[in-house]
């Protein structure tokens, strides 16, 4: 009996070591004209920042030119000048306020978000509503009594005042964001953990937190951005000792003399940390911003 | 096959409704309340913190708004009831400034959404260096607003040394002085477009592709696909962006402080800045407080609509894809 | 001793006015494999979750091994559950998933590893022990879910439609494996499914539920031969039993012009006793044959040839539809008129036309 023996086809199972070779991916870079447009727009948006950093390295005389100079002899003098004017304190203050307030936000917000994400008790909606509504109230309405209160308890020009206020400023958004991340965890996982013998606390630690940690990181990043860049509270409630970078920057503006390069140096130092953080953790940032939007 | 009733009601025994009622009555309210507290417990620290830090100052604001109190004249503090409010309502500057506030919010939201949409559409395509372009585009949102405003005022828009003037032919125009509000608007849009872009991009990328394929098979062109399928899907994200943006934009302060100081006069001031001026520069606590309360009332009205909008879309109940 | 008793157990979902489970009474023996089956919304999953402690027992009691489970939290019930979507911990490896419960109990690592490896061998998972669930196929994940359950050596297994996410072929394969595994381990098992084929092939006894109420709790054979009402009759068996409500005549039931289903003597007597004018009769397609001596004349609408057998879809004059099984080689053609009769060994079931309860 003549039969053609069928080709032994390599088994498709993932465990098989003799899987057929993958076709080499042909990378065809079609030139997309819209890609070029995107590039132009991107560079355009970025330009002010680029110019700021560039100017920071110029000497004053190069900064003050009618025709913008791109070629010049770079120098760090202006940065040094900024340091001489006491930017160190401001940097430390910003760092402290941002870090501690973000930590507090997480400490307070993670349990709150978790509680709000469980099977909704009637009050859940109300609590969520309340959180969001605090965000809606313009801070300006509270700034006066805040000033009075803060000065009465002796926290004027004290970095802790900012820590507390930044925590309150970021908590609502943080709770909302983290809640949506908690909601993504399938309820069955909690049930399975419970059946396996885990208490709620244990289940949180071993199963849930690892799953939401990227979301928490994203939330933290957003908090850092808003806290570091905050100006209104800082300028109202601090003077010299507790001033943060944005306040320092504003105070830097002199009325006379050539100081643009110095100004750009100061601005660069004020903006750079968060910009870099945002760039590095870009994916987390995007993820965080699309939080409740996606699910 | 016939479906027949199957003894769901045994004659002589209670109906299901009665059965349910009986069970509900025996449910121990104490137990379910304790359970409720246990579930909500973790929420309390955050809740209490927020109440203390936000509501108490506001209560004080309400109180102060009923006083005539100017820090410059110590000892002049006295209760005047609602007369501050009358002054506020009659203050022409207040309304002009309120209008500015609304202008900034609405204009920024609208323009940045449109730009954000266009940018998101661009970034949705695959092209060389897409990641880098996205990095470039999100930068304005990361930059400290005062620094950004500073750059716009000096490096970009300055009449003598600004880049924009260098590009444009003719005499250097002092943008910031001639068009203070527009200049501030530029800085605001620059800051917020990336935010809208990211949200809308998330929306674009979360769209199920098979719907678009079905549309194409049905014969829809690119523009029709966009209008009929993509845009409705993006609506949620755009709404969210608008609402969140508006919430933050109510408090716009940095750009005004940095670029125009509200001037000339109060032409480009918005509510927060004006109140700030009255309180910290004019030391008129009573009036500033009253203005704050009025702002809050307005915001609450708008916010109620906005919150209902968000909750309709986002309380974890997904609409069918 | 892991017997399970549902004693008039009921459950209402929060905010609902309908009983999800209504006064369920079941007595399950130690080591028995019991299947809860029914259409969607029948309360079968709820009943299972009540057993596992994932839903509250709003009324009545549930006893495991004689102990009252009311108020006992899930983690103290010593029950292992296999979820429909497996609920594997995504951030843990297969080995960690399977060993988690033991770890929580404080079992030392070496012993944990041994037990996990034993279970992995039974389920053919040894090569996957260090992988995370995301890197596994559906069938493999299902086995891990099973492994997680058996490692614990609990007193009860709960399984909530564990096969519904598998493709058809895999489902049949896994079905036999689960049944064999349970027989080997001897653990009392409560298994929920909407697929009556699974119920019939796997269960020692099967409980049919509908709208939260128990219809019948019996062995598969008994459900097949003596369904207690028309619902159970129509639910069990594939293709479904022919069920029609028609008027009674002198010697049987009139299905249409020239179509009378004859009934036994004692069946007619019963019907007369009850004074019924019409009755719901049920006859399984496999007990209905095409025969010239048949008294039921029908017209063929459709023939489904499955290779081993064929199902003939017909209708009688009055529009009554009947399905009969026949040999594919001798199957009739479309629009042909044939005569049907009850198979000599077959049974015509009678049900009350209004209540659906079994008659006789």
Provide the pLDDT confidence category of residue B221 given band limits of 50, 70 and 90: confident
Q: Residue C262 — φ and ψ, nearest 5°?
A: -75, 145
Average pLDDT over residues B312-319: 49
Query: B165 or C257, which is more confident?
Result: C257
Q: Does B28 touch chain C (CB under 8 A)?
A: no
Q: Is the domain of A45 the same as that of A168?
A: no
The residues on C that touch A, with CB distances below 8 Å, are: 14, 52-54, 73-77, 79-81, 83, 85, 87-91, 100-101, 104-105, 127, 137, 148, 152
Q: Is the domain of A95 the same as that of A56?
A: no
Residue B162 structure tokens: 């600004």
Burial class (CB in 10 A: 0-12, 13-18, 19+), B250: buried
Render C255-300 in DSSP notation, one character per residue.
Answer: EETTEEEE--HHHHHHHHHHT-SEEEEEE-GGGEEE-TT-SEEEEE
Interface of B with A in 18-57 (CB under 8 A): 36, 39-43, 45-47, 49-50, 53-57
Average pLDDT over residues A117-146: 74
Shortest distance between the Cα of C155 and any Cα of chain A, in A, equals 13
**Bridge partners for C156 per DSSP:** C79, C188
Q: For chains B and C, what is the number of CB pairs under 8 angstroms?
A: 65
- Rounded Cα gap, residues C319 and C323, in angstroms: 13
The two beta strands, B78-79 and C259-262, are: unpaired
- Final residue of a domain: which of A78, A110, A137? A78
Mutate: best of C21, C356, C358, C359, partner B, most B CBs <10 A: C356
Shortest CB distance from A48 goes to which of B47, B148, B202? Answer: B148
* Shortest CA distance from A188: residue in chain C: C87
Cβ contacts of C81 on chain A, cutoff 8 Å:
191-192, 195
- Answer for the pair C332, C339: CB distance below 8 angstroms, yes or no: no
Does the distance separating the beta carbons of C100 and A191 come in below 8 Å? Answer: no
> Is there a domain that residue A3 lies in?
no
- Answer for the pair C4, C190: CB distance below 8 angstroms, yes or no: yes
Q: Is the domain of A194 the same as that of A112?
A: yes
Cβ contacts of B1 on chain C, cutoff 8 Å:
230, 234, 240-244
Provide the pLDDT confidence category of residue B7 given band limits of 50, 70 and 90: very low
Q: So what's the pLDDT on residue B6?
A: 46
Give the tens place of pLDDT for each residue, B209-218.
Answer: 888 888 888 8
Does the distance separating the beta carbons of C73 and A193 come in below 8 Å? Answer: no
List the subunits that have 3+ CB pairs under 8 angstroms with A: B, C
Helix (H) or strand (E) holding C349: strand C349-351
Mean per-residue pLDDT of chain C: 91
Q: Residue B251 — φ and ψ, nearest 5°?
A: -90, 15
Question: A113 Cβ partners below 8 Å, 6+ apart?
Answer: A174, A175, A176, A177, A178, A179, A181, A182
* Shortest CA distance from C100: residue in chain A: A196
- Rounded Cα gap, residues C210 and C38, in angstroms: 6
Burial class (CB in 10 A: 0-12, 13-18, 19+), C91: middle
**Domain hosting residue A44, numbered range:** 37-78
Least reliable range by pLDDT among B246-250, B317-321, C20-24: B317-321
Highest mean pLDDT among B53-67, B157-171, C58-72: C58-72
Cβ contacts of C10 on chain B, cutoff 8 Å:
19, 23
Least reliable range by pLDDT among A120-124, C226-230, C331-335: A120-124
Does the distance separating the beta carbons of C210 and B4 come in below 8 Å? Answer: no
Shortest distance between the Cα of B211 and any Cα of chain C, in A, equals 24
Q: How far is CA C6 from CA A217, C21, C51, C115, C165, in A?
A: 47, 11, 9, 32, 29
Mean per-residue pLDDT of chain B: 79
Q: How far is CA A190 from CA A211, A216, C42, C251, in A?
A: 12, 19, 25, 62
Q: Does B4 touch chain C (CB under 8 A)?
A: yes
> Is there a domain that residue A9 lies in?
no
Q: So what's the pLDDT on residue C323?
A: 93
Q: Is the domain of A169 the same as that of A57?
A: no
Give the tens place of pLDDT for each residue, A63-77.
Answer: 666 666 677 777 777
| Domain range summary for chain B, segments of one domain joined by + | 91-314
Q: Is the domain of A68 the same as that of A146?
A: no
Shortest distance between the Cα of A76 and any Cα of chain B, in A, equals 19
Q: Is the domain of A91 the same as that of A157?
A: yes
The class of domain C242-359 in CATH terms is mainly beta
- Final residue of a domain: which of A22, A51, A78? A78
Q: CB-hemisphere CA count at 13 Å for B69? A: 20
Interface of B with A in 198-237 (CB under 8 A): 198-199, 201-203, 206, 236-237
Which letter, b or e, does each residue of C207-230 get, where b requires 16 or more Cβ atoms within 10 Å of its Cβ? bbbbbbbbbbbbebeebbeebbbb
- Rounded Cα gap, residues A218 and A110, in angstroms: 13
Q: How far is CA A282 from CA B174, B196, B253, C176, in A?
A: 36, 15, 27, 50
Average pLDDT over residues C92-98: 92
Q: Is the domain of A118 the same as that of A57?
A: no
C152 pLDDT exceeds 50? yes
- Rounded Cα gap, residues A51 and A29, in angstroms: 31
Q: Residue A155 — φ and ψ, nearest 5°?
A: -100, 10
- Final residue of a domain: which of A78, A106, A131? A78
Least reliable range by pLDDT among B165-179, C18-32, C237-251: B165-179
Shortest CB distance from A121 goes to which of B39, B55, B163? Answer: B39
C176 pLDDT exceeds 70? yes
Provide the pLDDT confidence category of residue B162 given band limits of 50, 70 and 90: confident
> Is there a domain that residue A178 lies in?
yes
Q: Is the domain of A219 the same as that of A258?
A: yes
C16 pLDDT exceeds 60? yes
The whole-model pTM stands at 0.80
Report DSSP state, residue B244. Answer: H
A16 pLDDT exceeds 50? no
> Is there a domain that residue A22 lies in?
no
Q: Does B256 touch chain A (CB under 8 A)?
A: no
Give the tens place of pLDDT for each residue, A163-199.
Answer: 999 999 899 889 888 888 888 888 889 899 989 988 8
Q: Is the domain of A130 the same as that of A157?
A: yes
Q: CB-hemisphere CA count at 13 Å for B81? A: 2
Shortest CB distance from B23 goes to which of C58, C213, C280? Answer: C58
Give the tens place of pLDDT for each residue, B273-291.
Answer: 888 888 777 777 788 888 8
CATH number, domain containing residue A131: 1.10.3720.10
Q: So what's the pLDDT on residue C108?
A: 92
Shortest distance between the Cα of C333 and any Cα of chain A, in A, equals 38
Average pLDDT over residues A242-255: 80
The two beta strands, C79-82 and C59-64, are: unpaired
- Rounded Cα gap, residues C333 and C319, in angstroms: 19
Q: Residue A18 — φ and ψ, nearest 5°?
A: -105, 40
Q: So what's the pLDDT on residue A292?
A: 53
Does the distance separating the beta carbons of C80 and A186 come in below 8 Å? Answer: no
Mean per-residue pLDDT of chain A: 78
Average pLDDT over residues A134-142: 75
- Answer for the pair A179, A117: CB distance below 8 angstroms, yes or no: yes
- Rounded Cα gap, residues B87 and B296, in angstroms: 17
The four Cα atoms A240, A241, A243, A245 give a dihedral, to 10 degrees, of 100
Cβ contacts of C74 on chain A, cutoff 8 Å:
191, 194-195
Share of chain C above pLDDT 70, in %: 100
Average pLDDT over residues B177-184: 83
The two beta strands, C156-160 and C79-82, are: parallel
Report DSSP state, residue C357. Answer: B
A90 pLDDT exceeds 80? yes
Residue B313 structure tokens: 């879309």
Does the distance separating the beta carbons of C152 and A196 come in below 8 Å? Answer: yes
**Bridge partners for C213 per DSSP:** C210
* Shortest CA distance from A277: residue in chain B: B142
Mutate: best of B85, B137, B140, B155, partner A, most A CBs <10 A: B155
Domain boundaries B91-314, corresponding CATH code: 1.10.3720.10
Does the distance separating the beta carbons of B2 and C243 come in below 8 Å? Answer: yes
Count of domains for chain A: 2
Asked if omega into B264 is within 30° of 0 (cis), the reply is: yes
What is the SS3 assignment for B80-123?
A: CCCHHHHHHHHCHHHHHHHHHHHHHHHHHHHHHHHHHHHHHHHH
B2 pLDDT exceeds 50? no
- Answer for the pair B148, B191: CB distance below 8 angstroms, yes or no: yes
Shortest CB distance from B47 goes to which of A118, A127, A144? Answer: A127
Q: Does A127 touch chain B (CB under 8 A)?
A: yes
Shortest distance between the Cα of A168 and any Cα of chain B, in A, equals 6
B293 pLDDT exceeds 50? yes
Give the tens place of pLDDT for each residue, C249-270.
Answer: 888 888 888 888 888 888 888 8
Give the tens place of pLDDT for each residue, C180-220.
Answer: 999 999 999 999 999 989 999 999 999 999 999 999 999 99
Shortest CB distance from C83 goes to which of A15, A188, A199? Answer: A188
Shortest CB distance from B258 goes to which of A135, A144, A250? Answer: A250
- Rounded Cα gap, residues B321 and B206, in angstroms: 11
Which letter, b or e, does each residue of A110-134 get, where b requires 16 or more Cβ atoms within 10 Å of its Cβ? bbbbbbbbbebbeebeebbebbbbb
Q: Is the domain of A66 the same as that of A98?
A: no
Provide the pLDDT confidence category of residue B313 given band limits of 50, 70 and 90: low
Average pLDDT over residues C311-334: 90
Query: C238 or A135, which is more confident?
Result: C238
Report DSSP state, residue B160. Answer: T
Q: Does B310 touch chain A (CB under 8 A)?
A: yes
- Rounded Cα gap, residues B56 and C186, in angstroms: 64
Task: Indicate the fold that domain C4-235 takes in CATH.
Answer: Rossmann fold (3.40.50)
Q: So what's the pLDDT on residue B307?
A: 67
Average pLDDT over residues B101-106: 90
Q: Is the domain of A138 the same as that of A220?
A: yes
> Is there a domain that residue A108 lies in?
yes
Q: CB-hemisphere CA count at 13 Å for A47? A: 16
- Rounded Cα gap, residues A230 and A248, in angstroms: 12
Q: Does B1 touch chain C (CB under 8 A)?
A: yes
Report DSSP state, residue B230. Answer: I
Q: Does A76 touch chain B (CB under 8 A)?
A: no
Shortest distance between the Cα of A216 and any Cα of chain B, in A, equals 16
- Rounded Cα gap, residues C212 and B109, in angstroms: 53
Other C-beta atoms closer than 10 Å to the C-beta of A91 total: 17
> Is there a domain that residue A8 lies in?
no
- Rounded Cα gap, residues C140 and B211, in angstroms: 31
Give the tens place of pLDDT for each residue, B110-124.
Answer: 999 999 999 998 888
Does the distance separating the beta carbons of C137 and A195 come in below 8 Å? Answer: no
> Is there a domain that residue A23 lies in?
no
Provide the pLDDT confidence category of residue B23 given band limits of 50, 70 and 90: confident
| Domain range summary for chain C, segments of one domain joined by + | 4-235, 242-359
Question: A152 Cβ partners below 8 Å, 6+ apart?
Answer: none
Q: Is the domain of A125 the same as that of A180?
A: yes
Shortest distance between the Cα of C116 and any Cα of chain A, in A, equals 15
């Amino acid at each position: 009996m003549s039969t053609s023996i069928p080709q032994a086809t390599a088994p498709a199972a993932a465990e098989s070591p003799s899987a057929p070779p993958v076709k080499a991916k042909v990378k065809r870079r079609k030139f997309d004209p819209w890609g070029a447009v995107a590039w132009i727009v991107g560079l355009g948006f970025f330009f002010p920042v680029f110019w700021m950093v560039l100017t920071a390295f110029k000497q004053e005389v190069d900064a003050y030119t009618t025709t913008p100079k791109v070629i010049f002899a770079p120098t760090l003098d202006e940065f040094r000048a900024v340091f001489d004017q006491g930017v160190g304190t401001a940097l430390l203050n910003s760092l402290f306020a941002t870090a501690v307030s973000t930590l507090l936000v997480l400490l307070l917000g993670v349990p709150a978000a978790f509680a709000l994400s469980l099977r909704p008790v009637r009050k859940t909606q109300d609590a969520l509503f309340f959180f969001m509504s605090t965000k809606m109230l313009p801070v300006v309405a509270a700034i006066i009594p805040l000033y009075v209160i803060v000065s009465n308890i002796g926290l004027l020009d004290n970095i802790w005042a900012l820590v507390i206020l930044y925590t309150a400023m970021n908590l609502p958004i943080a709770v909302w964001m983290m809640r949506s991340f908690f909601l993504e965890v399938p309820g069955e996982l909690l049930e399975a953990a419970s059946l396996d013998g885990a208490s709620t606390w244990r289940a949180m630690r071993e199963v849930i937190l690892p799953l939401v940690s990227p979301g928490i990181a994203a939330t933290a990043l957003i908090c850092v951005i808003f806290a570091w860049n905050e100006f209104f509270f800082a300028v109202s409630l601090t003077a010299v000792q507790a001033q943060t970078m944005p306040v320092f920057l504003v105070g830097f503006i002199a009325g006379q003399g050539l100081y643009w390069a110095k100004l750009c140096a100061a601005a660069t130092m004020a903006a750079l940390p968060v910009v870099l953080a945002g760039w590095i953790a870009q994916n987390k940032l995007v993820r965080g911003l699309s939080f409740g939007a996606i699910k | 096959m016939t479906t027949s009733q199957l003894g769901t009601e045994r004659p002589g025994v209670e109906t299901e409704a009665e059965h349910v009622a009986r069970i509900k009555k025996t449910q121990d309210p104490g137990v379910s309340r304790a359970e409720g507290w246990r579930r909500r417990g973790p929420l309390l620290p955050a809740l209490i913190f927020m109440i203390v830090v936000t509501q108490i100052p506001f209560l004080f604001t309400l109180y102060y708004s009923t006083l005539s109190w100017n820090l410059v004249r110590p000892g002049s503090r006295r209760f005047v009831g609602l007369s501050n409010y009358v002054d506020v309502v009659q203050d022409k500057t207040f309304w002009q400034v309120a209008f500015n506030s609304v202008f900034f919010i609405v204009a920024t939201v609208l323009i940045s959404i449109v730009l954000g949409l266009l940018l998101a559409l661009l970034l949705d395509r695959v092209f060389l260096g897409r990641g880098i372009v996205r990095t470039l585009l999100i930068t304005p949102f990361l930059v400290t607003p005062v620094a950004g405003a500073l750059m716009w005022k000096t490096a970009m828009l300055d009449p003598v040394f600004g880049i924009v003037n260098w590009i444009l032919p003719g005499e250097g125009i002092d943008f910031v002085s001639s068009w203070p509000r527009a200049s501030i608007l530029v800085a605001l849009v620059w800051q917020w477009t990336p935010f809208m872009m990211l949200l809308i991009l998330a929306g674009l990328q979360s769209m199920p592709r098979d719907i678009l394929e079905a549309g194409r098979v049905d014969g829809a062109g690119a523009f029709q696909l966009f209008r009929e399928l993509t845009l409705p899907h993006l609506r949620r994200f755009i709404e969210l962006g608008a609402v969140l943006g508006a919430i933050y934009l109510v408090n716009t302060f940095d750009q005004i402080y940095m670029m125009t100081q509200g001037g000339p006069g109060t032409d480009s001031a918005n509510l927060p800045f004006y109140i700030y001026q009255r309180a910290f520069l004019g030391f008129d606590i009573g009036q500033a407080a009253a203005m704050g309360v009025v702002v809050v009332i307005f915001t609450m009205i708008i916010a109620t609509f906005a919150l209902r909008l968000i909750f309709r879309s986002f309380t974890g109940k997904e609409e069918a894809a | 001793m892991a017997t399970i008793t549902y004693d008039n157990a009921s459950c209402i979902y929060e905010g609902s006015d309908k009983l999800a489970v209504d006064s369920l009474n079941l007595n399950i023996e130690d080591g028995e494999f019991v299947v809860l089956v029914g259409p969607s919304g029948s309360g079968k999953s709820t009943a299972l979750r009540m057993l596992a402690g994932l839903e509250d027992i709003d009324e009545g009691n549930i006893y495991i091994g004689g102990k009252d489970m009311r108020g006992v939290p899930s983690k103290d019930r010593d029950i292992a559950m296999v979820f429909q979507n497996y609920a594997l911990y995504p951030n843990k490896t297969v080995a960690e998933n399977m060993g988690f419960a033991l770890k929580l109990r404080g079992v030392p690592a070496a012993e944990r590893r041994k037990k996990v490896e034993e279970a992995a061998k039974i389920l053919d998972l040894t090569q996957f022990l260090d992988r995370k669930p995301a890197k596994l196929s559906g069938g493999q994940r299902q086995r891990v879910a099973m492994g997680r359950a058996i490692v614990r050596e609990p007193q009860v297994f709960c399984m909530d439609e564990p096969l519904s996410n598998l493709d058809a072929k895999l489902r049949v394969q896994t079905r036999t494996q689960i049944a064999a595994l349970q027989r080997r381990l001897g653990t009392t098992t409560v298994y929920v499914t909407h697929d009556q084929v699974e119920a019939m092939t796997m269960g020692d006894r099967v409980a049919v539920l509908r709208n939260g109420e128990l219809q019948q709790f019996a062995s598969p054979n008994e459900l097949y031969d003596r369904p207690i009402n028309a619902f159970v009759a129509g639910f069990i068996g594939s293709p479904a039993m022919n069920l029609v409500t028609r008027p009674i005549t002198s010697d049987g039931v009139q299905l249409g012009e020239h179509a009378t289903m004859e009934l036994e003597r004692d069946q007619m007597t019963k019907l007369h006793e009850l004074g019924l004018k019409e009755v719901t009769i049920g006859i399984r397609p496999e007990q209905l044959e095409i025969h010239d001596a048949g008294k039921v004349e029908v017209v063929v609408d459709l023939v489904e040839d499955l290779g081993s057998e064929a199902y003939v879809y017909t209708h009688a004059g009055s529009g009554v539809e009947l399905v009969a099984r026949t040999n594919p080689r001798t199957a009739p053609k479309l629009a042909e008129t044939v005569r049907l009769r009850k198979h000599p060994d077959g049974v015509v079931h009678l049900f009350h036309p209004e209540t659906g309860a079994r008659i006789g």
